[in-house]
A and B are shown apart, each in its own frame.
Chain A
Amino acid sequence: MSDVANLPETYLRMVSREYMRHRLHRLSLHAIMSLALLALVADFVACDRPILLSFRGTLYLLPNLVDPPALRAYDNQRLADEMNPSDWAVFPPVPWGYNSHDLEAVLAPPSAQHWLGTDSGGRDVLARVVHGSRVSLAVGVLSVAVLVSIGMFIGSIAAYFGGVLDLLLMRFLEIVHAVPTILVLVTMLALIMPTGWHSVVAMMVVIGLVRWTDVARLVRGEILRIRTMPYVEAARALGAGHARILLRHILPNALAPVLVAATFAMASAILLEGALSFLGFGIPEDMASWGGMLNDVRGHTGAWWLAVFPGAAIFFTVTVYNLAGEGLRDAIDPRLRA
């Protein structure tokens, strides 16, 4: 049913309208954005320094971010104890850092002090859950970027050039696909033995290197379909080179299914990060990661709050990405469109 009077709706418009029609999909998009925001402002939500502090005549701006040398010896509790009547401070809603040990409350159940309890090192579970969103998001986004890049590259050259190259690349893909993911990841991470933020980088590269096969298959299929279309032939007739035809004419039209795959890949990358950290291979203990927090449960099975809260965080995050992926898939699938 084409409306002659109006300009046709753009594809992007159409997809986003379709997507936004369902409440669950809308909610999942909001949740994804809220999680990203939480990761961004984690230092304002949970930190062992105030956000704004006037202490002994000096005004400190954002001590939660800049770590002023004069305050090295202080955390929120000591500051609150030692503040003069003229001093004032704006504390974050969760006055604990993700790596500050409250040794008076080790393995404490949820209380007014520690809303979600503490772990075996006396660290506040809520603060660690909040900061854990950073690791999850970082590993998720970056590993998906890596796997989409590799997948698109291999998928598109295999499909576009075809022939022996296609055959070889698809054999290679089958081999990579046949290697058991978690075993490879564990082996590679145990061999690299990264530390600190390096482990986040190592993890995302390793996940990306192993998980690109689905995207490559998808892109290959899409391109095989698009390659024979008349407009591609027209571009070739006009003298466009391989790179131009691939990048400007074919790939943009193959992007929609890749976006869906990327959303699902995000969910599975977050799960993988969790599993690896749980096994003790991923993110080091002094950084906050949800899987690593769950690792603490193994020695302290009775401490239900150690299992429930990080578990809920992972579950929630993975669910919203899966829901968003499904919404996107339904929205771009023309067969479902009325």
Chain B
Amino acid sequence: MARFILRRLLGLLPTLLVIIVISFFVIRLAPGSPFMTERGVPPEVLADLKAKYGFDQPLPTQLLRYLGNLAHGDLGLSTKYPQRTVNEIIADGFPATLLLGTAALLWALLLGVGAGIVGAVRQNTAWDYGFMAAAMVGISLPTFVLGPLLILLFALTLYVLPPAGWGSLRHVVLPALTLGTVYAAYLARLTRGSMLEVVRADFVRTARAKGLSEPAIVLHHMLRAGLLPVVTFLGPAIANLLVGSVVVEKIFATPGIGPYFVDAAFNRDYFLVMGIVVLDSVFLLIMNLLVDVAYGLLDPRIRFE
């Protein structure tokens, strides 16, 4: 298995390279410059600035230099915040994003998988219908609608949670609920569907016949088989949860990397945009790899080849 993982990891490198090269050229060939200000910059200063960031070199040279720095883990300098490197900015914002994403993931897993199991085990009962109707609602409820509504309800009407900001665990609750609910809805439907496929499987009947308790059957026998599609969904979902909470961070003024990204795109902060895209792509690719590994662990029929 170690060999399988190593080979797949090496296989990710070309994909990552293509993503970096494409986004590099898309960002750099677009009109606009990071040094545009309302007052305008004197030509000498502009030339100095360009030299500082290496923008005076031809693009392919810049790309090579960027890739070389990247290989050392150096993401470059921010043009918007000249005192800071992109590494520092990401290190600054990432903990908040990570905490928010993890909390949202836990909420999504608890609610989603839980509701899915109940829906499948108690198929066609009020529980089933209730959860599935709720999941339908959850899927169509975008974060930028749910977030303001939750603020209105919990912060401005009931006064139980802070409306925005960061600093204590209470601040994490609303953003995490906002971010996790849609994933919970998808998970509930997926889990229910795949659990229903094994509810009447032979191995479940065997487990029941040998006198196992119902929870043991559900948790040990059915869930393991029923989790495969869930795992497939979870890979990209986790990556999105951990890095893709731009909208939620904007709503709740969370000091994560999301708001930096939005501003960076506006300000043409080339290296910062690149840094965040690279970070997110790496996450996504690694998550997809982990999905494949988890497949082999969950389903003995799948071999690592």
B156: interface (CB < 8 Å): yes
The chain B residue sitting closest to A280, CB to CB, is: B262
The B250-305 residues at the A interface (CB cut-off 8 A) are 250-251, 261-262, 265-266, 268, 273, 276-277, 280-281, 284-285, 288
Question: What is the bound-complex CA distance between A281 and B265, given in angstroms?
Answer: 10
User: How many Å lie between the Cα of A178 and that of B110 in the bound state?
Assistant: 26
Q: Per-residue 0/1 for A171-184: is the Cβ within 8 Å of any B Cβ (1 yes, 0 no)?
A: 10011001110111
Instruction: Scan residues 127-174 of chain B and give those whose CB is less than 8 A from a CB of chain A.
Output: 136-137, 139-145, 148-149, 151-152, 155-156, 163
Kindly state whether residue B243 has any CB partner on chain A within 8 Å.
Answer: yes
Q: How far is A226 from B48 in the complex, measured between Cα atoms in Å? A: 62
Report the bound CA distance from A73 to B137 in whole Å. Answer: 45
Cα(A193)–Cα(B31), bound, Å: 9
Contact B152 A307 (CB under 8 A): yes
Residues of B within 8 A of A182 (CB): 244, 246-247
Q: How far is the CA of A179 from the CA of B243 in the complex (A)?
A: 12
Q: A275-B144, A275-B247, A302-B156 are in contact. Are A179 and B265 (CB under 8 A)?
A: no
Give, as a whole number of angstroms, the nearest-CB distance from A180 to chain B: 4
Tell me the nearest residue of chain A to B157, going by C-beta: A304
Most buried by B among A174, A190, A279, A294: A190
Contact with B along A62-83 (1 / 0, CB 8 A): 0000000000000000000000
Residues from chain A with a CB closer than 8 A to the CB of B139 are 318, 322
Contact in complex: A311, B281 (CB < 8 Å): no
- Contact present for B145 and A298 (CB under 8 Å): no
Query: Which secondary structure dominates where chain B touches chain A?
Result: helix
Distance between Cα atoms of A153 and B23 in the complex (Å): 24
Question: In the complex, are the beta carbons of B240 and A180 less than 8 A apart?
Answer: yes
**A 244-282 binary contact with B (CB < 8 Å = 1; else 0):** 000000000000000000000001000100110011110
Give the A-binding residues of B (Cβ under 8 A).
15, 18-19, 22-23, 26-27, 30-32, 136-137, 139-145, 148-149, 151-152, 155-156, 163, 239-240, 243-244, 246-247, 250-251, 261-262, 265-266, 268, 273, 276-277, 280-281, 284-285, 288
Q: Which residues of A contact B (CB under 8 A)?
A: 171, 174-175, 178-180, 182-184, 186-188, 190-193, 267, 271, 274-275, 278-281, 291, 294, 297-298, 301-302, 304, 306-308, 310-311, 314-315, 318-319, 322-323
